[in-house]
Chain A
Amino acid sequence: MKRIFYTCLGIILLFSLLLTSCAKETPTQSTAAEKPTASTPAPTLQPKYGGTLKMVLDFTPAPTLGWPPDYSGPATRVSQLCVESLLRSDFKGNTYPWLAESYTLAEDLKSVTLKLRKNVKFHDGTDFTAQAVKWNLDNQMAAKKAPYWTSVEIVDEYTIRINFSEWKNALIFELSDTSEGLGYMVSPTAFQKNGIDWMRQNPIGTGPFKFISFNKDVGFKTVKNQDYWIKGKPYLDGVEMTIIVDPSTRAAFVKAGGVDVVNTNTSKLAADLADMGFILKLTTNGTWNLMPDTNNPDSPWAKQKVREAAEYAIDREGIAKGLGWGFWQAPYQIPARGSAIYESDFSLSRKYNPERAKQLLAEAGYPDGFKTYINCYSAGLNKDAATAVQSYFIKVGLQAELDFPELAKYATYQKSGWQNGVLFAPLLTYGNFNEGIINYGPVSPLYPSWQRPPDFTSAFNASLISKTPDVKLIRLVTDTITKNALIIPIHETGGGYAVASYVMNMGWGERGMSAFLNWEDTWLNK
């Protein structure tokens, strides 16, 4: 009897293990997950007022919600509900006025004058004036976020002038709502009353929603700003964001219903969300790349043939197909697909050719390969992609060891350099591409192990000082990088939102980065 019992128990356990552990899911192609294109015009619907939009985040925002000098991507994704910027930018890097009514660049490009909107109030009831703007901009200068600004002047109560030491075409773009934009406005009165630590947790801006609460690891709540400066908006009663970091928990919570928007990247989760009926609003916003230590003369990576060999060694088509869940295409250039500087007829592609890779390595003096390291940036890393790169390298003789340092340790590579290896990290394509690659510029203190050859430096400097971003000049920069194999793109990266069908007018794709939405226009068609 006991034997029968234990046998049955064993079978049950084995069966349940098989059921829960061994089921493999294959990537599903999602028709909603295609490259974003211009949407066909839908019949015009009248916006409806009411409803609280419920959103799920897969990250905890940095606690800098109300202090713009400390802003970063995760913080602004949340604080944009409450804090607005002087300008806004679109996906192509064009800027347009927002809290500023207009802006005028001086003829000599040494200053910009901004006329501010009147009758705008901060959430604490204080006025949005030139004094408030100067206070905010001075804080950015004090935090050394604006190295090319010399001073900020008040011209009159609603006019401000920023003076520059020299012109860079990213200077105007920086005043728009990017992840680390300099033009965000918060209430000086709230700061004087409560101090900086309070401000970090309480974004008191001019936005369409007023801050209610932020609990780390729990969520962020806002309520409609009844005194918003755009009359008749916003339409929503509020926006609530729930933070769920664990992917299984997040998937279950979303499946249970009651969620209107889920922030996601181009991954299996996005494919699952599409299967659940969400509409995917995703953009490819950059590439994950290998950055070799080209500035170390003793490193094999200093030789161009070695770098080209590495490119030929990697099957990027295979990586895109196997890991991209239908969202990726193989990248052979650094700019994100869909951006203004992406070249659809790019001719410098070094496609997968392991024999060519071995030949180049032999020509470079490494017929048996060499030992090297792949130091991976861990935030947002797809470890399978890193492992794939390692395996491709090993096949051509590059004995690559993977390293997944903590962010703090990775930061030392960025600041102090790395030896005999590559960094594996993302490079995002901002609307103004120069803004995205400023850290790779000739005067940047970052990446000392990365060489800036003369042709790159001259192309980079020329692209920076054009009056407006010049696609041709920027392409010269990216083409120089690709021609010299200074950075090797491996796979695309992207992100955005999965949106329920009744969520209208989020403005996805209209702003500079995929994470920025027109919250004042959003409404629920239910």
Chain B
Amino acid sequence: MVTYLINRLLLSIVLIFFVTLIIFFTMRLLPGDPVLMLVTSNQAQEYSEEQLQHLRHEFGLDKPIVVQYVHWMGGVFHGDLGISILNHTPVIDELIRRFPISLHIGLLAFIVGNIIGIPAGIICAVRRGTWLDTVVTALANIGITVPQFWLGIIFMYVFGLYLKWLPIMGYTPPSEDFWYNTRQIIMPVVCLALFPVASMVRQVRSSMLEVMRQDYIRTAWSKGLIERKIIFRHALKNGLIPIITLAGMGITIIIGGSVFIETVFNIPGIGRLAANSVINQDYPYVQGITLVIAVTVILVNLAVDITYGWLDPRIRFR
């Protein structure tokens, strides 16, 4: 197990390296010049070529790309993710400010997605063919197709504006006002959790149906075990492997969805920062955010892989 973990960690480091390499070079292949973007953001600045070169030198953009990458990776190992071209602020400061916000909402969406999705999927499987199965499956199909940003706007108008049940937008740190923060994040969390819930319902239903057909389940029924024991002690655990895989993938979906949700609900998270940074070609931000997301996804996948071994002792770690 320890060997397996070490191997996976080493592999993760290699993966992170390749991801950052791809993003670093891809950003620089995009047309446009981030220094010109900075200049035009200051409107009507008549920068001479000399001044533009000076700016490029200030941000290290005049060096060869390989040198830039090595310099940046060197900074990463020291906790320095660079300076934003547009804002002249350390990237790490902004990430430290924003990442907990996205993590807070994303984690809650993940938990909600699984807490609702797994039981709902079990119910559908156990009550297959009934009106309950039909309704829940239909809702799941709708959940998969409905765009998150559209739903967010609908929620905002219905619950925020007309019913006035919840704040329309924004994010107040829980340390400042926990109850207000809780009310503020209900809508974004629900919108983010929708797709994971829907896809989880479908996957759990499918997995459970397959497991419920197995001989040992029939044996369990024959033995007279109660339904709850059959489902939770025998069926669910065997059907969990694809479910855990999906749960891990749900994290990436939540990260992707956070761009829209943070924009709609005006939440200052890293999703929104990522979108703005790509548009503005603010390389350091894009690189820093990509690194953070890559690390998060890789750690989640590692957790998923470890969970396999716990779920199914037949899987041995070598």
Contact = CB atoms under 8 A, between A and B. Distances in A.
Q: By CB atoms of chain A within 10 A, which of B51, B164, B169 has the most?
A: B169
A255 B161 contact: yes
B168 A63 contact: no
Given A197-B89, A245-B263, A407-B37, A180 B273 contact: no
B32 interface: yes
Contacts of A196: 88
A252 B160 contact: yes
A9 interface: yes
Counting from the closest, the 6 A-B pairs by CB-CB distance are A408-B32, A72-B43, A63-B87, A408-B36, A408-B37, A411-B36
B43 A180 contact: yes
A463 interface: no
Contact of A249 (B32, B36, B42, B265): B265
Contacts of B34: 408
A2 B131 CA distance: 8
A201 B156 contact: no
B157 A252 contact: yes
B29 to A, nearest CB: 14
Give the size range of B's interface with the partner.
35 or more
Interface residues of A, number: 48
Interface string A423-448: 00000000000000001000011100
Interface string A39-74: 000000000000000000000001110000011111
Given A70-B42, A244-B266, A411-B37, 9 more contacts: A13-B142, A63-B89, A71-B42, A73-B43, A216-B94, A217-B272, A217-B276, A246-B263, A439-B46
Given A201-B89, A408-B37, A256 B161 contact: yes
B161 A72 contact: no
Interface string A184-222: 000000000000110011000000000000011110000
Contacts of B37: 406-408, 411
A179 interface: yes
12 contacts: A13-B142, A63-B89, A71-B42, A144-B48, A201-B89, A252-B160, A252-B161, A255-B161, A406-B279, A411-B36, A444-B46, A445-B46
Given A62-B41, A63-B89, A407-B40, A249 B46 contact: no
Contact of B273 (A179, A217, A245, A256): A217
A414 B157 CA distance: 42
B187 to A, nearest CB: 11
Interface string A67-99: 000111110000000000000000000000000
Given A217-B273, A246-B263, A252-B161, A439 B44 contact: yes
A516 B266 CA distance: 26
Nearest to B86: A63
B51 A180 contact: no
A244 B171 CA distance: 12
Nearest to A75: B42
Contacts of A180: 43-45
A253 B264 CA distance: 11
B106 to A, nearest CB: 17
A401 B167 CA distance: 44
Contacts of A446: 46
A412 interface: yes
